[in-house]
Amino acid sequence: MTTPADPLSPSDHLLRTLASVPVSSSVLDLGCGEGRHTEPLLRLGFPVHACDPEPTAVEATRDAIRSLVGDDTAETCVQARPLGAVASIDESFDWVVADRGERYASSLDELTTLFHAAHDLLSPGGWLFVTVPTTEADSNAERPAGLVVTEDQLDRCREAAGLEVASTPTRIDDTQPPRLRVLYRRVDPKTPA
């Protein structure tokens, strides 16, 4: 029997994935929550920016990273931004991490908007790491409140945003509700094959 994943600990899968990436790669932690990925990514040496729609989460993330980057950098690299203001970030990133995509998206339309914003924030060839809640394996199970996405719906959001599949969705059943984890990539169609 597996034990449920701790929702406050960083994703082992994400950290293992980024372990093979040059630490000069810039990362945006989109929906940073309390800094569960911001802090370990900074410790690994990545240049990280983070944002969340909740000011209390932003303050918690700033508190978590202050000893690593200092007060001024903590204030500037972690920002409170609603979904409509995410696209106005004036930088591009090699990686956008949207673990817990429901922090920004409570509907499929908002998830598509989030994917569009991520596409625009990614450098050409950049990567988007996403997890979102999905349905229970038992089709008779009660559907949880909030955003719940099937693989087909996730793929339609991705396609609408012009992102390419880098890894097929993986179902994570050791969380409540279960989640889908996927990796997308911004690919310039003009790039020669």
Calculate mean pLDDT across residues 26-38.
Answer: 95
Looking at per-residue pLDDT, the higher value among 174 and 170 belongs to: 170
The rounded percent of the chain whose pLDDT value lies above 90 is: 76
| Span 144-161, pLDDT tens digits | 567 899 999 999 999 999
Contact 182, 165 (CB under 8 A): yes
Calculate mean pLDDT across residues 43-55.
Answer: 96
Q: Residue 27 — φ and ψ, nearest 5°?
A: -130, 135
Q: Which CATH architecture has domain 22-185?
A: 3-Layer(aba) Sandwich (3.40)
pLDDT for the residue 10: 81
Farthest CA pair distance, the chain:
51
Calculate mean pLDDT across residues 120-124.
Answer: 95
pLDDT for the residue 81: 95
pLDDT for the residue 174: 85
- Three-state SS string over 53-95 comes to CCHHHHHHHHHHHHHHHCHHHHHHHEEECCHHHHCCCCCCEEE
pLDDT for the residue 8: 62
| Residue 105 clears pLDDT 90, i.e. is over it | yes
| Residue 3 clears pLDDT 50, i.e. is over it | no
pLDDT for the residue 91: 92
Domain spans of the chain? 22-185
